[in-house]
Structures are given as C-alpha cells and as structure tokens.
Amino acid sequence: MSAESTGSNKVNDSIFANSMLGMMMIAVAVSALVLGVVAVVAMNGGSSSSSATGASGSSVIEVSLSEFTITFNPSVVPAGDVTFKVTNNGTVDHNFSIPSLKAKTAMLKPGTSEELAVSGLVVGDVEYLCEVVGHSAAGMTGKLSVVESSSAMGMASTGNPMTSTVSWQQMDKMMENVAMKFPAKTSGIGNIELPYTLSDDGYKVFSLTAKIIPWEVEPGKFVDGWSYNGVIPGPIIRANVGDKIRIVVKNELPESTSMHMHGVRVPNAMDGVDPYTQKPIEPGASFTYEWTAVEPAVGMYHSHHNAQVQVPNGMAGALLIGDWKSMAMAAAGGRTKDANNVAEQEVVMVLNDSGTIGLSLNGKSFPATTPYSLAIGETMVVHYFNEGSMTHPMHLHQPSGLVVAKDGKVLESPFWADTINVAPGERWTVVYTAKDAGVWAWHCHILTHAETPEGMRYMVTALIVK
C-alpha cells in the first residue's frame, strides 16, 4: 500500500470518526430534549394544557389577580395537595399569599405567572390576600373554602356561575339595574370648602382634625375611612397669593401623623416630613403649619407619616391658592368657544385606587359618585388630583378638554385631549366647554376601573349637558 493511499485511509477514518461522534452528540441532544419534554408534560399533569390534576395527584386551581380582586377557577378547593397557578391580569404588581401556611408567590409584574404548590390542605376556611400595602383593604383578600375532594368535584362541575348560568339577557338586566341607581345617595360628602377664621395677627386660620370614621363608599358598603374633619376627601382649603395661612392639625388617630403641603411653596420647617422638619404629631396632640402664600398653586395636603396607609385610606384634600377659574380661562384664550369667557364651575376630582376607599372618585364608587351639569356654552375648570397608587387615564366622552396647567403651573402651550393620564401625585387642570346636549359618561379608561360583569362601578360619573 502506498504512502498516498495510507494517508487517504487515515483521512477517511478521521472523517468517519468525526461523523459518528457528531451523530452520537445529536442523538444525546435529542434524547435530552425528549426527556425534557416528557418531564415538562409530567409536571403539568401529562398535558401541555391546564388540567384539574397536577403532579402526584395534586389539584390545580387557576388564580387571577387584578385591581382589586382575586378570583379562583374552580371556585372551590379540594383538601390535599394543591397547585395554585397564579396570573397577574392587572395593571400593577400583585402577589398571592396564604399567611397561615406561610405560602406566597413573588411579587408578580402585570402579565406574569407563577405556580404555588401547597401540601396537605385541610377542610375549612383559609385566608388569602395580596400583600401590596393597601391592596387587601381595597378588596384583594378573603377566605377560600377547602372541602372534601368529592364535594369539590361536584361543586366544580357546575362551572363558573358568571359564565355558565348567567345569560346575556340577565347580564344586560344587571347592568341596567346598576346604571339606573345613579346617582345613589350615601352618607357623607367630601370636597366641601373649609371656612376660616381671621386671627388678630392677620392669619387665615383653618382647623383640621384627623380621625377614623365609618365612610360609605357605595350604597351599603361602609369602611374605616381615615379622614380630615370627618369627610373624604378632606375639605377644600382656598387662599389668595399674599395671604398668611395657618393650618392647625389635631390628631385623633390611633397613631402618629404629619401633614405635607404637596405642590405648595412653603418654608422647609412647614414641609411636614417628620422627623426631619418636625416631630410626628402623636395621638391627642396638635401641630400648627403657617406660611405666607407667595405664588398660585393647585396643591394638595396629605399625610406624610405611614402615608401608604393613611393617604389611600382617605387622608388627603385640595389646597388651592389663587383664582384658578380666571387663570384657566385666560390660559384657554377663547379656544374653547365659551359663551361669555367665564367659567361657571370649578371642580376638584380626587382619584383613589387603594386602601379602604379603593377605586373611587372623590371618595365614592359608582353609582354613588356625583354627577355634574352644564348648559351648552358653559364652562367648568376641572382639577384632577391623583392620591392613589397607579396612573388613571381620565376620559370625558364629550367635549374634548383644553389642558391649561400641570401641577399648578400654567402651560405655555395648552393642548387638547379627551383622555388625560394622571399619575400618582400629579394635578392636571383642564377647561371643558359644553357643546352638545346629553348625558356624557366620565370615567377612568382602565376598563376594570369602570365596569364589572354586573355593570358600571368604581371610577365612573357623568356630565349632564342641558
């Protein structure tokens, strides 16, 4: 055999060996992939789709989180091992927790999911909640009924009552019934203008008392509201540029508090941020905030102590400095085609979405919200205040509004908008001039903040144009 043929055979042998090695590696990879798929299918109860039974015979419960509710499918849980498939279908972060079992998911971003395995559930009621501050108080909590497996199977077979037993005709009727209750009467109303007394040294003196009250958010639904002067939102404080202002805050809460003038220019000592600018106002004590108003403001006063509880529970109100009806109309410059270039109304609309108050406009949930009215050619100046935890796109069906100020500063170039995104802490000032007669819906355009399968609810009101 020649040296050339020997070299050729060595080359062929090398190619063959490399080919075999490659085929073996592919076979190993394919085997691993198959085993992985088998393992995934096994972990999901032998199917790529959701199943009523998971690995090792555990039951599978679908859990949906949204603002502000937690729903289960099926709605009953059998005793034994359970896998909760938790999905955040809301617009902000949520989690799912069962405190008595020390079981909870991570904080889930909107659109994400996580499985939570729980072993040995026993018959009885199990408390669950979302742990985000204020979310459980707004409705994301409850007790889950754990029943014997045979009972659970029988109850689950009836399906979701809203989808299986309610016809479209029944849904229409429920929606109509809710709509026809608007505006429903409830006890208590916020945004009442706060009177003042004039002190000997020339101050306008306003008195506020922080206290917990029963607050009727919607007909028949009373919650523990954290209020100023027994109303939610707190009363409107008005002043003029140049006024000397004194606000005396008395604390009748079961814990300390303080008060911050958000968006209002004050001396640092009056900023209301304990322990830096003052000591906290202890239960039973009072504190006096005083300053001279040096510029216009669309401000708000609210707690700045344990604020993630106190503010969404109701401790907030509007603080307006200056003649904003005139300033807003001047900024509009006649662009809204008002009949006489005068604003007939000034509206303060405080948005909330958490705490004991929950999704609400001025402390009320539809159908208990307040409607507004104008005649064609008349104008109202609206100040949107967001004291909640998420952004709300506020939408008035008619007419489009001219946005003239943000956070109390008149815009150099006002702009038209029919939907205004109001982020937490923001204030937007909008001029609306009525053009067409009718009842025009006015609501947050996150649809779950304005409607349920039973009808309109939460952040909904109406403008009635005559």
From the list 354, 366, 434, 355, the residue with the least C-alpha distance to 397 is 434
Q: Which residue is it, tokens 């200056």?
A: 322
Say if residues 278 and 269 touch (Cβ distance below 8 Å): yes
User: Which whole-number Å values give the CA distances from 342 to 334, 379, 429, 440, in the listed order?
Assistant: 10, 7, 16, 22
Predicted local distance difference test score (pLDDT) of residue 29? 42
Predicted local distance difference test score (pLDDT) of residue 7? 42
Rounded CA-CA distance 217/363 in Å is 6
Kindly tell me the sign of the dihedral angle through the C-alpha atoms of 432, 435, 439, 441. negative
Rounded CA-CA distance 358/370 in Å is 17
**342 phi and psi, to 5 degrees?**
-125, 135
CB-hemisphere CA count at 13 Å for 440?
23
Say if residues 134 and 107 touch (Cβ distance below 8 Å): no
State CA 335 to chain mean position distance. 34
* Distance between start and end Cα atoms, the chain: 110
Q: What are the tokens at 249?
A: 């805050």
From the list 437, 435, 439, 401, the residue with the least C-alpha distance to 421 is 401
Classified as helix, coil or strand, 72 is: strand
Residue 18 burial (CB count, 10 A): 10
Predicted local distance difference test score (pLDDT) of residue 197? 98
- Rg (the chain; Cα; Å): 30
User: Which whole-number Å values give the CA distances from 200 to 72, 204, 205, 309, 422, in the listed order?
Assistant: 63, 10, 10, 37, 41
Residues 6+ apart with CB under 8 A from 116: 83, 84, 86, 96, 103, 104, 105
From the list 444, 229, 244, the residue with the least C-alpha distance to 352 is 444
Q: What is the pLDDT along the chain (466 residues), one digit of tens a residue?
A: 444 444 444 434 443 344 444 444 444 343 443 334 333 333 333 333 333 555 456 789 999 999 888 988 887 788 889 999 999 998 889 999 999 999 999 999 999 999 999 988 888 888 999 999 888 888 899 888 888 765 544 444 444 444 445 788 888 999 999 999 999 999 999 999 999 999 999 999 999 999 999 999 999 999 999 999 999 999 999 999 999 999 999 999 999 999 999 999 999 999 999 999 999 999 999 999 999 999 999 999 999 999 999 999 999 999 999 999 999 999 999 999 999 999 999 999 999 999 999 999 999 999 999 999 999 999 999 999 999 999 999 999 987 899 999 999 999 999 999 999 999 999 999 999 999 999 999 999 999 899 988 899 999 999 999 9
Answering whether pTM is above 0.85, one says no
Predicted local distance difference test score (pLDDT) of residue 165? 58
Say if residues 106 and 186 touch (Cβ distance below 8 Å): no
Residue 185: DSSP 8-state: P
Say if residues 313 and 226 touch (Cβ distance below 8 Å): yes
Predicted local distance difference test score (pLDDT) of residue 48? 33
Say if residues 234 and 301 touch (Cβ distance below 8 Å): yes
